[in-house]
Amino acid sequence: MTDSLVTKLVAIFQNCNLGSAETAVGEAMKKTYPEIPMIRLFDAQMEVLRRRSKHLVDISNIIDEFIRRKKEIVDIIMKRKVPKDWFPFVPVIPRSMVKVDKLMSMIVYNHMRGYNFLDQEKLTDYDVDLPTDPYFILNIRKKEAQNFSKETKVVYNLTVDEGISFWIHQVGTLPLRHCMSCAGSCYDNTGTPFIHFSKVDTRPNLHQDNIRDNINKRGFASCCERV
C-alpha cells in the first residue's frame, strides 16, 4: 500500500515545485489527521519536561505516566471545543511528588531559572479533591475570572502546582514585568501565591500577597477540567 501511495504522489507532484508540494502535503495531513497538532504539542511538552528537569530532579517515571495517557488526552481534547487563544492542555506534577523549589526551577525565563520564596508546608489548595497522581488540566485561559466565567460553565482557578506547570510550558514574550496569581491556592491561611516575572531585576519567582483584591489586578489563569 505504501509503494502504491508513493507512486501516486510522485505522479501528482512531478510538475509541482518543492514549496507547493510541501504545503499541499501539510494541508492534506491536517485535514486527514486533525489530531496531529495536539500530538505534536504533547510530544513537545514531554521534551520540555525532560530538558528542564535534567540535572535537577529525576521525573522519568512521571513523564512515562504522562506518555501512557497520550492517546487518552489527545482523544479527549479532540472532542472538546478549544476556543481561540485558550491553551488545550498542560501536564501537572503535584508538589507532593516534586517539591515546589524544584518545580519553580523548571520555569526558565530570560535565561534564568525560577525561584521559590514560600514555605511549601504553608501552602494549601481550596479544592480538596485534587488528583494526587500526575494529571492534566484542560482548556486553560489566562484572563480575569469575571470575563472567563461568561464563556464556560465550570471554572477552576489554577493552584500553585498548576500555575507553575502552566508557566513551565508558556513562558515566551512577556511585558517588562508580569505577574499571575495562583488563586486556587492559599498561603499561610490568608495570602495568595503569585508567580512574578521581570526582564529587569530578578529571575521568575513564587511569592505571596495578603491583599486578595490584588488578584484581579494581576490576572490569573483558570482551567475547565482536571483529568
- Identify the residue with better confidence: 151 or 24: 24
DSSP one-letter code for 188 = T
pLDDT value for 220: 76
pTM: 0.82
Residues 6+ apart with CB under 8 A from 42: 70, 73, 74, 89
Residue 103 and residue 57 in contact, taking contact as beta carbons nearer than 8 Å: no
Q: pLDDT class for 60, splitting at 50, 70, 90?
A: very high
CA distance 38 to 46: 12
- What the block records as the C-alpha cell of 219 is 490576572
Residue 152 and residue 134 in contact, taking contact as beta carbons nearer than 8 Å: no
pLDDT value for 35: 81
pLDDT tens per residue, range 25-58 = 666 656 655 688 999 999 999 999 999 999 889 9
pLDDT tops 70 at residue 207: yes
Average pLDDT over residues 80-88: 85
Residue with cell 505522479: 11
Single-letter amino acid, residue 99: K
Residue 162 and residue 182 in contact, taking contact as beta carbons nearer than 8 Å: yes
Least Cα distance to 86 among 166, 185, 193 occurs for 166
Please list, residue by residue across 84-119, b when 16 or more beta carbons sit within 10 angstroms of its beta carbon and e when fewer do.
eebbbbbbbbbbebbebbbbbbbbbbeeeebbbebe
pLDDT tens per residue, range 108-149 = 887 889 999 999 999 999 987 899 999 999 999 876 444 444
Q: pLDDT class for 214, splitting at 50, 70, 90?
A: low
Residue 94 and residue 161 in contact, taking contact as beta carbons nearer than 8 Å: yes
Q: Where are the domains of the chain?
A: 83-226
pLDDT tens per residue, range 184-203 = 999 998 889 999 887 666 78
